[in-house]
Amino acid sequence: MTDKEKIEKYLNKYSHCFTENEEKYIFDFLKYYKKNKNIFLPLEIQQIYDECEIISENNNIYNEYIKLLEKMNYKEKKILEIGEGFNPRLAIRISKKLTSGTITVYDPLIYKNIKKNKKLKIKRKLFKQKENIKDYNLIISFMAKKAAEIAIEYAINNNLDFIVALCDGGLHGDEFDFYTCPEEWIHAIILNTNNKLKKANRPPLIIEYLYKYHSSYPVLINKTYIRKKPNNIIAFPKNIRYN
């Protein structure tokens, strides 16, 4: 089956979820991707290509993010993921690797076709801070814009570990417009998070990057009992283009 045929099958499976213009964009992007696979994939495209197995395992950004989770011994954790969009491919991948753990993903946009299982719990609604903290001991969020700040705040307030991958906040027609560019929003989150961690007497923030997958956005990590300071972290390296 060709990549185009795989996408056609995908769009047929989720036929109620895409407009004609969105379908055209998906096919147009495939032509662009075939010419240059060394590009950063928008989250919606990443989800489609992952389910359709268009991306090789060696070139799949989800795998690198899951490697970061290994620092948290995630396979036995009760994981909460806040925000992932229509198709929670990251949560699905994580659920297949869990041993005694579970993952619960919150997003009102999740396709109705996506089914829960013993390891994967689906909540088609917005996450609210009043949720029971006893249900979770690791908070994650992957390039979900607003959800990043919610995840970080909930984790710090409840003394939980977190791994949050940022993306292009700012300029979305809402409160992000307070910032003039995505870099400013990201920098503000890093500073605010470190200040909150300090007040909570928690270890300093650790920052990783997924450069191999052409992402220039930082991944913010905090494990409650680590006291080692990160080495010379640079939030915005030179010569890196922010998409």
Tell me, what's the pLDDT at 174? 55
Task: Please tell me the CATH code under which domain 73-222 is placed.
Answer: 3.40.50.150
Q: What is the pTM of this model?
A: 0.85
Cβ neighbour number for residue 178 with a 10 Å cutoff: 10
CA–CA gap between residue 34 and residue 208 (Å, rounded): 28
Hey, which bits of the chain come out as E strands? 78-82, 102-106, 120-123, 138-142, 161-165, 206-209, 218-222
Segments of the chain assigned to CATH 3.40.50.150: 73-222
Q: Which stretches of 167-233 are DSSP H helices? A: 182-199
Instruction: Please answer whether residues 220 and 205 qualify as being in contact, where contact means their C-beta atoms are separated by less than 8 angstroms.
Output: yes
Taking 70 as the pLDDT cut, the residues of the chain under it are 169-179, 225-243
User: For residue range 10-66, what is the model confidence (pLDDT) as tens digits?
Assistant: 999 998 888 999 999 999 999 999 888 888 888 899 999 999 999 989 889 999 999
